[in-house]
Amino acid sequence: MGLKILMVEDDNSVAEMMGMFFRKEGWSEDVAADGIQAVDMFKKNPSKYDLITLDLNLPKKDGIQVAKEVRAISPTVPIIMLTARDSESDQVLGLGVGADDYVTKPFSPLALIARIKALHRRVMMEDDSSSSDSNEDKNDYDIETAHLKISKSRREVLFDGRAVTNLTPKEFDLLFTMAQKPKQVFSRNQLLELVWGYEYYGKERTVDAHIKKLRQKLEKVGADVIQTVWGVGYKFDDSQVTK
């Protein structure tokens, strides 16, 4: 698994330490020392990188803005945000602009390696599924409800025939997980386990941040289908939707 990582980090000692551990895994990295350089490097060749590690506190352009601009170029490249801040609001903000995971400095390099491997495995599983089903009938969907159709292999979501676009991997997986069991309430811990996996050690607010962004994208096509069950969690329900 020879990953190519874009490391966005202005602290030379941290960059050198991370690079050493990456190379032990057989990975390679390009290093951007500020936000403007990071966006320029990614924009030049988005397909070059399998994953981005992104420091929140950067010169010239902070990690939040970098994440926004990267997501405008690629909705799917995995992003792990790194920061010295331990504020929950910073975490939610980072996840809200499209980061897939969040690690607070100081961190264990081995824990970061585990996060990277977990994210990459999910991407590869999705790519394998897409390749094996490349000849799938376009009318076949894994999930079909009264208003929603979802194809996991094509990463396609339709609401009353209108495409829901630019979903990040985690947003798609959240919707797919809940839509498989309409009206079933999922707690935040259940969604963390089902979508992020046992290797994810995040907080429940991670789910809230991703649900917020998922709702915004669904609402662009009029899909008000993710409901909050106060004190419990979330559920998918399109039974009350009227055209």
DSSP string, 214-230: HHHHHHTTT---EEEET
Identify the residue whose tokens are 């994440």.
Answer: 67
What pLDDT score was predicted for residue 222?
A: 86
Q: Is 8 helix (H, G, I), strand (E, B) or coil?
A: strand
Count Cα atoms within 13 angstroms, Cβ side, for 57: 9
What pLDDT score was predicted for residue 121?
A: 76
Please report which helix (H) or strand (E) contains residue 68, including its range.
helix 63-73
For residues 77 and 169, give the distance between their C-alpha atoms in angstroms, rounded to a whole number.
Answer: 8
Give the pair of three-digit tokens for residue 10: 């202005």
How many other CB atoms are there within 10 angstroms of residue 151's CB atom?
Answer: 20
What pLDDT score was predicted for residue 139?
A: 60
| Prediction pTM value | 0.63
Each of the 243 residues of the chain gets a pLDDT tens digit; together they read: 589 999 999 989 989 999 999 999 999 999 999 999 999 999 999 989 999 999 988 999 988 899 989 988 988 888 998 877 655 566 666 666 778 887 887 788 888 888 888 777 776 665 555 544 544 455 678 888 889 999 887 888 999 888 898 888 888 889 999 999 989 999 988 888 888 775 455 567 788 888 988 999 998 888 889 999 998 899 999 887 766
Q: For 188-226, give one letter per residue: b (16+ CB within 10 A) or e.
A: beebbeebbeeebebeeebbbbbbebbbebbeebebebb
What pLDDT score was predicted for residue 115?
A: 83
What pLDDT score was predicted for residue 209?
A: 84
What pLDDT score was predicted for residue 105?
A: 78
What pLDDT score was predicted for residue 129?
A: 52
Chain CA centroid to CA 165, Å: 14
For residues 20 and 70, give the distance between their C-alpha atoms in angstroms, rounded to a whole number.
Answer: 25
